[in-house]
């Protein structure tokens, strides 16, 4: 079609298409710029009965600072999270945490396929999952890498069972939910009842109630580790 053959309708149609094309280009360029600023991801190991608040808060918070999150599990599939809480006013008192169904979360990769050298750090959440995840040899291999390499590791609540089983907290000071104090001590660590404890590359917290100070300290460590690299 020659320019002289264009009708008013053709011209209007072409002009209307320009902003959409520019928007697409701008969006693509912005995405490339964002990706270029992204750091190596942070690994979050999970399993069935992973605690929802322990897991979802870092799942959304960590990427805000340019660190993608990769969720890993015994297999690459969908997992059931749970809500762990001592009911504030139950009809029949509970001496221990009550467990209720929570949201679902998908693991992108199985532990056996994880190359920990490709990650900036690790976040270990709690719930009932760590009780059996600590028997996974690939997860133990992964966990030891982060400590041997001095990469930032965050552990909350029952997550202490994983790092204790991996043999990486001996001689350290940590905190965790009070009922897991023995797990910390059996791993050779000193347990203290504080919201957050920093010891070397490890940031530990008691429960999801400590999420705000806990994540503040972990993100400081994570960002500082990238600047050093």
Do 25 and 99 lie in one domain? The reply is: no
Do 46 and 148 lie in one domain? The reply is: yes
Do 20 and 110 lie in one domain? The reply is: no
Do 7 and 85 lie in one domain? The reply is: no
| Helix, strand or coil, per DSSP, at residue 165 | helix
CATH number at residue 191: 3.40.50.880
pLDDT band at 124 (very low <50, low <70, confident <90, very high): very high
- CA-to-CA separations, 29 to 33, 35, 38, in angstroms, rounded: 6, 10, 14
Do 86 and 14 lie in one domain? The reply is: no
Q: What is the total count of domains within the chain? A: 2
**Which range marks the domain in which residue 26 is found?**
3-33
CA dist 226 and 221 (Å) reads 9
Do 127 and 214 lie in one domain? The reply is: yes
Q: What is the pLDDT of residue 145?
A: 98
**Which amino acids are annotated catalytic?**
158
Do 133 and 111 lie in one domain? The reply is: yes
pLDDT band at 37 (very low <50, low <70, confident <90, very high): low
Do 122 and 199 lie in one domain? The reply is: yes
Do 45 and 20 lie in one domain? The reply is: no
Mean pLDDT of 189-215: 97
Do 75 and 49 lie in one domain? The reply is: yes
Rg (CA), the chain: 23
Do 20 and 53 lie in one domain? The reply is: no
Do 18 and 92 lie in one domain? The reply is: no
CB-based burial of residue 125 (10 Å sphere; 0-12 exposed, 13-18 middle, 19+ buried)?
A: buried
Q: What is the pLDDT of residue 3?
A: 43
């Amino acid at each position: 079609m020659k320019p002289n053959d264009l009708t008013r309708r053709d011209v209007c149609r072409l002009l209307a298409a320009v902003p959409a094309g520019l928007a697409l280009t701008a969006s693509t360029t912005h995405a490339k710029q964002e990706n270029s600023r992204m750091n190596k991801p942070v690994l979050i190991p999970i399993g069935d009965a992973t605690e929802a608040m322990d897991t979802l808060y870092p799942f959304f918070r960590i990427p805000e600072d340019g660190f993608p999150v990769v969720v890993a599990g015994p297999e690459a599939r969908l997992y059931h999270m749970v809500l762990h809480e001592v009911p504030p006013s139950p009809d029949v008192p509970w001496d221990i945490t009550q467990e209720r169904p929570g949201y679902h979360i998908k693991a992108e990769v199985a532990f056996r396929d994880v190359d920990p050298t490709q990650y900036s750090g690790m976040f270990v959440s709690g719930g009932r999952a760590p009780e059996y995840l600590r028997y996974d040899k690939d997860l133990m291999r992964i966990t030891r890498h982060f400590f041997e390499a001095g990469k930032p590791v965050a552990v909350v609540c029952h997550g202490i069972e994983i790092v204790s089983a991996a043999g990486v907290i001996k001689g350290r000071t940590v905190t965790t939910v009070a009922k897991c104090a023995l797990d910390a001590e059996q791993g050779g660590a000193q347990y203290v009842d504080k919201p957050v404890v920093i010891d070397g590359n490890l940031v530990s917290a008691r429960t999801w109630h400590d999420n705000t100070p806990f994540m503040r300290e972990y993100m400081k460590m994570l960002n500082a580790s990238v600047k050093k690299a």
